[in-house]
Structure 1
Amino acid sequence: MSKLSRIEMLKSFAEQDPTNPFNWYALALEHQESDPDLAKFYFNKLLMEHKVYLPTYYHAAGFFASEGDIDKAKEIFESGIRLAEEQNNDKTLKELKNSYQNFLFENDID
């Protein structure tokens, strides 16, 4: 399956079921390299409309960090860590904390 047809399929899924955050998440991931502005739109949509969808936080934080939006990335990591704690999701909590520590070190943040 080509990348374009995968994106078209995901768009169709998102239009058919806009309340399912996975469709928006998949679209954000698909667009990270090919269309960062669209990826940013989808990540922001997820962070605003689907705040409890935990998978968003790891990738969104990394995306915004790679785009140079260090403050937003920091805020997303911290929100994701709080959410993982609230959801008692130890695996994701550990991944987020490890990535956050690396992020802080790489960006020389205390």
Structure 2
Amino acid sequence: MSRSRIPELAKRIKKDPDDSFSKFALALELLKISEIPKARTLFEDIVRKDPEYVGVYYHLAALYVESGENNKAINTYKEGIKVAGAKGDQHALSELRSAFMNLQLETDD
């Protein structure tokens, strides 16, 4: 996706504010151009409105880690692990557990 996809995704969201897929895709595009606060807002909105959207937890927790909000990151990873487990999404579950353990090791130092 190129930067030109941002207006298209924004249009989709304007048309359907509950479109978690488009919000997620837009947030990833915003990350690529270092629009961290906007991406974070979209990720947080997805978690609030569509907590079953399992892909969002990994990315939101990573943003929390980057901004030094480790407790928020830990809670986000834990919630994502619960959601992925309940949905039977083994790939997401594995990624979330790995990132969670890495963060715990880093914060135990």
Alignment TM-score, normalising by the size of structure 1:
0.88
Q: Deviations over 1:54-107 (max 9, x none)?
A: 000111111111111111111100000001111111121111111111111122
Deviations 1:20-52 (A, max 9, x none): 201111122122252211112111101101111
Deviation at 1:17, TM superposition (A): 2.0
Identity of aligned residues (%): 31
> Residue 11 of structure 1 aligns to which amino acid in structure 2?
A
Q: What is the aligned length?
A: 108
Match of 2:49 in 1: 49
Structure 1: runs of 5+ lacking an equivalent? none
Between the aligned partners of 2:2 and 2:79, the Cα distance in structure 1 is 34
In 2, the alpha carbon distance for the partners of 1:2 and 1:26 equals 11
Q: Which has the higher contact order (CA 8 A, sep 6+)?
A: 2
- Cα pair distance change 1:8/1:87, threshold 3 Å: same
Aligned residue for 2:68? 68
Deviation at 1:2, TM superposition (A): 4.2
**3-state DSSP class of the match of 2:108?**
coil
Question: Distance between the aligned counterparts of 1:22 and 1:107, measured in 2?
Answer: 32
**5+ residue gaps in structure 2?**
none
